[in-house]
Amino acid sequence: MRMPQLEGFIWSSALLAAETLRVLYHACPRIKVLHIKFPDNMEQALSRIHLFGRTPETFRLQDLAPFGDLEEISLENIIDTVAKWPAQIIEVLKKSPMLRKLRLSMSRELLRIPLRFTVFREFFDDLCTSYQQTGAAPLHLRSLSFGTAIFPPKPSHLDMLTDVSFLEHVSFWNTNVRDPTDPGSPILLHITGLRGDNFGPARCPNLRRLMVERYDPTIHTFLANVGTHSGQLGVWYNDQHSAKPTALLRPSLRYPALPLHFRVLEISLPNFLGRMGDGGPYTAEQRLGDLISGDKGTLKGLKVRVALNKMAMTDPATSSLQLLKKALPKLVGLTQIAVVSRHLEVTNANVLVRVAYELACS
């Protein structure tokens, strides 16, 4: 069967047979987008594959090397023989000069294998240097994502792979990784690799979106030094307990470039008791006050994480949502808003509908 018009292929969280990729390559010559996410529990899945008359090797010998002319490639939960992947990835990159998006991540199953930590720490560095050795010109990536145990290379090595001046989106989901050679080691929370010398405004003048798994001091220091570049930058993070981003909106003796004025920002609001954050009371009202005072009309998009406990849902007038409602009219440049909360019950739907209506009318 041929599908000559197919341009995108996404495979997520299921075993992928080598034959599937061979058929895809021959039957779909116009493939431009290739996203593959291997199962989180791949070894467990492979241990049962004999029940279906298949052998594990069928799902271990994927060959990406024939693919070329791609615009996007994403490989998540890389497992099995780490050494086989760089050569395949480099071959695809070499044959895809128009590639615009690259995302890589290791499987956490793989991290439990007692390998030297440098296998992961230097994976991307080695990928960059090996790519240059092919003689291929640096790519013009627009989007680069560092997933689990994929750490950014040195600036000089990154330049071998791509011209970073074209980067518009960089994401870091590579924290919470332990050194596999030392089971007792602490979680390496702060190794994102985000520094001014590899992704700062001087090198990445077109950077518009930064996404991070955890808002740690490394991230805060980087952002506190971006200066006027913040006016075109959007910042997203997955750490719902951090109060730090709003600190970027206040003057600081330590960081003369503050306050910053972002294009898009994500913040967390505690419940009405105001006890979520960096070790002390930093209430929702204070955070919104900093957001308003730090805005100069540049803020176009806002994502708000709200904590809604049972009392706040019963009496939303005392909750952070009510404070948000009062704050929105003062953010004069705002064009988009997203409000996110967890642990909501269906019984609260009527309250949420009313709150959403009030926010829309504020």
Whether the predicted pLDDT of 221 surpasses 70: yes
Helices 349-360 and 320-327: angle between axes, nearest 10 degrees: 20
d(CA 77, CA 67): 20
Same domain (yes/no): 196, 258: no
Per-residue pLDDT at 176 exceeds 80: no
Q: Are residues 86 and 148 in the same domain?
A: yes
Specify the pTM.
Answer: 0.83
CA 68/CA 99 separation, integer angstroms = 9
DSSP state at residue 136: P
Instruction: Decide which of 169, 198, 214 is a domain's last residue.
Output: 214
Q: Are residues 205 and 241 in the same domain?
A: no
Q: Is the pLDDT of residue 90 over 90?
A: yes
Burial (CB < 10 A; 0-12, 13-18, 19+), residue 25, is middle
pLDDT of residue 39: 84
- pLDDT in the model for residue 272: 44
Q: Are residues 177 and 259 in the same domain?
A: no
Q: Within this chain, do residues 199 and 328 fall inside the same structural domain, yes or no?
A: no
pLDDT digits (tens, 9 = 90+) for 330-354: 998 989 988 877 655 544 555 556 6
Q: Helix axis angle, 320-327 relative to 284-293, nearest 10°? A: 20
Q: Are residue 41 and residue 189 in the same domain, yes or no?
A: yes
Domain that holds residue 65: 1-214
Residue-wise pLDDT for 288-305, tens only, equals: 888 888 788 889 999 888
Last residue of a domain, one of 183, 214, 245: 214
β-strand partners of 102? 73, 144
Q: What is the pLDDT of residues 24-59, one digit of tens each?
A: 998 999 999 999 998 887 767 666 666 566 666 667
pLDDT recorded at residue 51: 54
Checking if the pLDDT of 120 tops 60, the result is: yes
Say yes or no: 75 and 164 in one domain: yes
User: Whole-angstrom Cα distance, residue 157 to residue 29?
Assistant: 32
Nearest CA among 138, 134, 168 for reference residue 153: 138
Same domain, 279 and 194: no
pLDDT for the residue 346: 45
d(C-alpha 150, C-alpha 9), whole Å? 23
For the cut 60, the answer to whether the pLDDT of residue 132 exceeds it is yes
pLDDT over 70 at 241, yes or no: no
**Across residues 272-292, what is the average pLDDT?**
65
- Clarify whether residues 290 and 152 are in a common domain: no
CA distances from 6 to 1, 34, 97, 104 (A): 12, 11, 20, 23
Percent of the chain at pLDDT exceeding 70: 70
Same domain, 203 and 263: no
C-alpha dihedral (219, 187, 170, 205), degrees to nearest 10: 30
Co-location of 253 and 204 in the same domain: no
What is the structure's pLDDT at 55? Answer: 65
Task: Assess whether 96 and 224 both reside in one domain.
Answer: no
CATH of the domain at 185: 3.80.10
Q: Which of 154, 187, 214 is the last residue of a domain?
A: 214
- Tell me how many domains the chain contains: 2
Interior/surface letters 304-315, b for 16+ CB within 10 angstroms, e for the rest: bbbbbeeebbee
| 194 has a pLDDT exceeding 50 | yes
- CA–CA separation, 82 vs 341, rounded Å? 38
